[in-house]
Structure 1
Amino acid sequence: MAAPRPVPDTTDAPLIALHDVAVRFGQQEVLSDIHLALHSGRITTLIGPNGAGKSTLARVILGIVPPSRGRVTRRTGLRIGYMPQRIKIDDSLPLTVDGFLALGMAGATRARRDALGRAGVAHLRRRAVQALSGGEMQRVLLARALLRKPDLLVLDEPAQGVDVAGQDALYGLLAEVRDELRCGILLISHDLHLVMAATDDVVCLHHHICCSGTPEAVSRDPAFRDMFPGHPATNLALYTHEHDHEHDLHGNVDCAEHHHHDH
């Protein structure tokens, strides 16, 4: 899919900024020297291998884990929507999609319907949660995060367990959400297959920030090449994808147009 359009409002104060942040658990320093700012209207992707501290950094941003050193500044009244990797629901509990959203945030039925519509799953409102496919549940979790009308949307490994076409559909939707809500989006991932083409900014983490910048700049950085040796993205095969078609919830192409990859 085509890379999101850069949005020229990043001179504004950041939604959230981390200044020289470190996190220590016991004797182990999980994060150190973290300087990071997230802005409205931009998609930032946090990448790195398993164990690099990505989830810990996300928890600092969410306000769950306090920094051991440094400081975090947030825009006044900042609203954060969070989409977890997965959520466990008791199979014996009869729960519709609408009921599931109401558990997270009571309020007007219309708000829940609107959030499901924005996520492309309004037709699932009365479906049992247990009957959803993985791709459908992914969209419902996104709707749940959107209910907060977030200034910042944080998604932890949102495409885990979803095929490449399904990831493509999700990233296209996130770009639409960003454009419509003018929110900032933070994606956390270790999977580069489409991420490098679906983001405005990349932050490469391995307990500290190894490199950051645009996908093109990061893909040329020796630190990125060392972290992901031999990956096609290091050769600027950024999986650019002309979006002249749409995907359904399962990643199927809805028309006869074909993908176009630039290698």
Structure 2
Amino acid sequence: MLISSQALSVRFGRNLILDRVSISVFPGEVVTIVGPNGSGKSTLLKTLIGSVLPTGGQVIRAEGLKIGYVPQRLYIDETLPMTVNRFLALPTRRSKEAVAQALRRAGVDGLEKQQVMSLSGGQLQRVLLARALLEEPSLLLLDEATQGLDQRGTADFYQQIDMIRQESGCAVIMVSHDLHVVMKRTDRVVCLNGRVCCEGIPETVSQSPEYKALFGLDDDDVFGVYRHQNSACNLSGGSLNAG
């Protein structure tokens, strides 16, 4: 086991954000956390990496675990001139070789001298991915990393993640609010709405009454999800489920 939460609870003031959430992630596994907006998905990831302290329960990490984290969005002062090379060298100095290799693995080699503020949305997400890869992580956390990307950009990004996982053997936790986007790209799905509503392989979760109730779906909607995902899978040329 790489990381687990045990009866994890988080409160912000009087608001209970996470209520006794227990999950585990194993080496090489892809786990997707799905749930509506405000369900605690980002809070769970931030608690797993230690930037949010739990008010109950605990997080257990494997000894020597290295985590790479790609946030949902990054706020940078538009008046601040900063090249990609400088951005990737903060706060720890990195060799030019290490930066170049990370950008190559993220699929955006050659951007070292480009200004961060001039990057497209897709390029910025790849640079954030490169920053995470500099840690040589055994666990990669993606907090809705494709938010704002079009369908092709999303498919390309997930294909890059697939290549990274096959190359390094790292585990992946992906956060999403759309199960159909990741149906064929994950080993296991955890449906979250403050607490764990249901958990299992994608096909089982998508058919569960808890999932349908949470997203307001009926059987026609679920079948539509399958048709949509099959189409998207053909466009992406592969899936994260290497098995």
Secondary structure at the counterpart of residue 175 of structure 1: helix
One-letter amino acid matched to 1:24: R
Match of 1:59 in 2: 46
2:100/2:110 contact within 8 Å kept = no
Match of 2:241 in 1: none
Match of 1:250 in 2: none
The farther-off stretch of 225-234 and 36-45 is 225-234
* Cα distance, 1:245 vs structure 2: 5.3
Match of 2:226 in 1: 237
Q: How many residue pairs get matched?
A: 233
> In 2 relative to 1, CA 145–233 (structure 1 residues): closer, same or farther, beyond 3 Å?
farther
Aligned mates of 1:200, 1:34 — CA distance in 2? 19
One-letter amino acid matched to 1:78: L
1:97 to 70, 79, 84: 84
Match of 1:3 in 2: none
Match of 1:185 in 2: 172
Return the TM-score normalized by structure 2: 0.89
* Cα distance, 1:91 vs structure 2: 2.4
> In 2 relative to 1, CA 212–76 (structure 1 residues): closer, same or farther, beyond 3 Å?
same
| Unaligned segments of structure 1, at least 5 residues | 1-13, 247-263
1:155 to 124, 142, 153: 142
Aligned mates of 1:243, 1:134 — CA distance in 2? 20
* Cα distance, 1:84 vs structure 2: 1.0
Identity of aligned residues (%): 43
> In 2 relative to 1, CA 19–244 (structure 1 residues): closer, same or farther, beyond 3 Å?
closer
Secondary structure at the counterpart of residue 194 of structure 1: helix
Aligned mates of 1:162, 1:182 — CA distance in 2? 26
1:40 to 13, 20, 27: 27
* Cα distance, 1:243 vs structure 2: 5.8
* Cα distance, 1:199 vs structure 2: 1.4
2:128 to 138, 141, 147: 141
Aligned mates of 2:135, 2:221 — CA distance in 1? 34
2:69/2:141 contact within 8 Å kept = yes
* Cα distance, 1:28 vs structure 2: 2.5
> In 2 relative to 1, CA 209–233 (structure 1 residues): closer, same or farther, beyond 3 Å?
farther
> In 2 relative to 1, CA 140–29 (structure 1 residues): closer, same or farther, beyond 3 Å?
same
* Cα distance, 1:132 vs structure 2: 1.0
* Cα distance, 1:71 vs structure 2: 1.9
**Is 1:80 the counterpart of 2:67 in the alignment?**
yes
Match of 2:96 in 1: 109
- After TM superposition, list the pairs within 5 Å mapping 1:17-28 onto structure 2: 17-28=4-15
Cα root mean square deviation, aligned: 1.9
- After TM superposition, list the pairs within 5 Å mapping 1:205-220 onto structure 2: 205-220=192-207
Secondary structure at the counterpart of residue 156 of structure 2: helix
Question: What CA deviation, in whole Å up to 9, does each residue of 1:118-164 have, x standing for no partner?
Answer: 01111212212121111111111100111111111111111111011
